[in-house]
Amino acid sequence: MTITTVLFDLDGVIRQFDPDAVADIERRHGIEPGTIEGFAFSAPLLHEVTTGRLRRAEWVDRIAEHLGSAAPAEEWSRQPYRVDAEVIELADRLRAAGMITAVLTNGTDTIPAEAEQMGLRDHFDAVFNSAEIGYAKPDPQVFLAVLDALEVDPHEVFFTDDSPGKLAGAEGLGISIHHYEGVDGLRRALQALGILT
């Protein structure tokens, strides 16, 4: 088995949000803890926005309607984040060694602009967005679309995601998977497979 391609999830792997930000928004607006993301990430709403059936702006409008106020929904939608420099450095090392590196995110229609803002295309060969593909992880179809676009076979790909549930579709196709819990663990997993020295 020869791995030629390393596929990264975006949120929770490359892009990190402040874990206290949502609780702070809810506290300041007098909203019951867990309300915002409990609704935002509920079915079928999340599936609709991550498969391109609903635009991000419409998603935020739905959240605002649920909360009875636009202000906390808008604030939630503009949360600050940081790009993990260690993950980027790792991706750069992989590319320098001749590997294909790509991102696969369950994203919305604003991912192209966000990817530009984060400079992802300077470090990854491709950025794949579920909202553009029409299928979201863990649906095998989203992984098949990536394989087709990159012209690689499943056994050539290594995929890491911080959500174990998102890994199933990849594993079922024969893609090597890794549950991301930090850059050190990812580095060790890549070294164990001989992808990284």
pLDDT in tens, 51-95: 999 999 999 999 999 999 999 999 999 999 999 999 999 999 999
Q: Is the pLDDT of residue 1 over 70?
A: no
CA distances from 19 to 25, 67, 151 (A): 11, 21, 37
Q: Mean pLDDT across the stretch 3-18?
A: 98
Instruction: Give Rg (Cα) of the chain.
Output: 17
Q: Mean pLDDT across the stretch 135-146?
A: 98
Q: Mean pLDDT across the stretch 87-116?
A: 98
Convert the pLDDT of each residue in 84-101 to its tens digit.
999 999 999 999 999 999
With contact defined as beta carbons under 8 Å apart, do 72 and 25 qualify? yes
**pLDDT band, residue 5 (cuts 50/70/90):** very high
Q: Mean pLDDT across the stretch 99-128?
A: 98
Give the residue range(s) of CATH 3.40.50.1000 domains in the chain. 5-16+81-192
> For domain 5-16+81-192, is the CATH number 3.65.10.10?
no
d(C-alpha 63, C-alpha 40), whole Å: 6
Convert the pLDDT of each residue in 127-136 to its tens digit.
999 999 999 9
d(C-alpha 9, C-alpha 23), whole Å: 24
d(C-alpha 73, C-alpha 40), whole Å: 10
pLDDT of residue 197: 84
d(C-alpha 68, C-alpha 157), whole Å: 45
Amino acid identity for residue 167 in this structure: L
